[in-house]
Structure 1
């Protein structure tokens, strides 16, 4: 029945000018029906960046950098309690869970040895004002990490680059014992992530490595593993 009614209305509409014409040859009218045509959906635009991380230390491998693009808040900051996702990076260099915290992310291919560098590409769709956060562990430490927090990418047009150097931070989740049992890097091959927190509990600037050479008898580290700030250099380039 609904189809018949619809058909009937259509026929009546078409017949209307004829009926009017039959009544009065001089009184012909046209019926104009306006139909709204939806605007085409805009094609999504990819916004891409290349991030190059250079290891500036003498004896600290930098874990594969975790790069996250997000729009709100901080994924870490000095003075804050670190998330478990950041703790996993700072204590064992594991970034899988940290990379899930944003709208887009990318991880490094492997550790960056002293003096080497690595370039990582990351793409986000239709967002030019995203924030960039990076985190990576200094492997021959208990819970030292480095990176950048919530840097505003809206400053970069296509082809623009920005370079910065970054210091080492202490996650505050594990005491800096430097022992063979607790340092996961190649200098000791000790334990990685441990959910028990026994240090300050908040992120701070890292005080540095003491080492056995400078009097910490229980340290598995040597003067070779000491570092000065900055520990990495970061270059960010918008490519698309």
Structure 2
């Protein structure tokens, strides 16, 4: 009887130790999840007939997506000419990236949720106005380091010109539904600097060969953005 009693005590002790390890692991996972920071970015398309390419939301501590007066990066060129955000989302300075994965029609809104386990100082947002040659909009390097839970920031961005493709509005040069033409082209035939966009001219204003009309015109701002820290 004594031998069986000792064995029972040893086995029970082992079971107890395993149970304690499970609890510790569960607590660690819970603590890690609780420490994550989470943000919601809601974008409303304010244009008349300019769908937005899939929204791109980035978290980073360094780097800029663009600067007025500087040449666009290859990643920004790809997005501004074709709506392709894959290169930008994998850029070396990016700590976290999310997208809604779908075109945002004019007059509608979409929300992207992004989280990070290590605090990031900046949030950027980019999307293409797809019935253009290389127009884009968004936010570059918004400081979110002091944003408290349930606190929001609101912005009304205008449209930018990537300066990588001339605004010919010609057939075959615009990837949106107004034309269904070419997207990204590596050659650059414009100023090669980022500027504020001067707007659509269109065939209705006498631009010969333009596939765009007055419906595709836009005024600034082209979008309304709300950034909310939810965790």
TM bucket (normalised to shorter chain) is 0.7 to 0.9
Deviations 1:29-82 (A, max 9, x none): xxxxxxxxxxxx995421110000110000100111111100013121111111
Which residue does 1:79 correspond to in 2?
69
96-105 vs 169-178, which moves further: 96-105
Distance in 1, matches of 2:83 and 2:216, equals 17
SS of 2:89's partner is helix
As a proportion of its length, which structure holds more helix?
2
CA distance in 1, matches of 2:128, 2:116: 25
Provide the C-alpha distance between the structure 1 equivalents of 2:123 and 2:148, rounded to a whole number of angstroms: 15
SS at match of 2:171: coil
> Given the two structures, how large is their TM-score scaled by the length of structure 2?
0.84
Secondary structure of the structure 2 residue equivalent to 1:197: coil
State the match for 1:107 in structure 2.
99
Structure 2 counterpart of 1:94:
84
Cα distance in 2 for partners of 1:126, 1:202 equals 33
State yes or no: 1:192 paired with 2:174.
no
Does residue 165 (structure 1) correspond to residue 156 (structure 2)? The answer is yes
Unaligned 5+ segments in structure 2 are 1-27
What are the residue-to-residue correspondences of 1:2-41 with 2, within 5 Å? Answer: none
For 1:73 and 1:142, locate their aligned partners in 2 and report how far apart those are by CA, in whole Å.
25
Query: How many angstroms apart in 1 are the aligned matches of 2:166 and 2:79?
Result: 16
Is the counterpart of residue 227 in structure 1 residue 218 in structure 2?
Answer: yes
> Could you tell me how far 1:97 is from its partner in structure 2?
1.0
The corresponding residue for 2:201 is: 210
SS class of match (2:79): helix
Shift of 1:109: 2.4
Per-residue CA distance 1:110-136 (angstroms, 9 max, x = gap): 111110010000011130x42011110
Number of aligned pairs?
199
- Please report the TM-score for the alignment, with normalisation by the length of structure 1: 0.81
- State the alpha-carbon separation in 2 of the partners of residues 217 and 108 from structure 1: 36
In structure 2, which of residues 36, 39, 42 is the aligned counterpart of residue 52 of structure 1? 42
SS of the equivalent of 1:103 reads strand
Q: Does 1:135 align with 2:126?
A: yes
- Residues in 1 aligned to 2:44 and 2:133: alpha-carbon distance in whole angstroms: 21
User: Matches of 1:118 and 1:186 in 2, distance apart?
Assistant: 20
Query: Structure 1 CA distance, aligned partners of 2:65 and 2:173?
Result: 25
Task: Give the gaps of 5 or more residues in structure 1.
Answer: 1-40
SS at match of 1:87: helix
- State how far apart, in whole Å, the 2-side matches of 1:137 and 1:228 are: 15
**Tell me, what secondary structure is at the counterpart of 1:147?**
strand
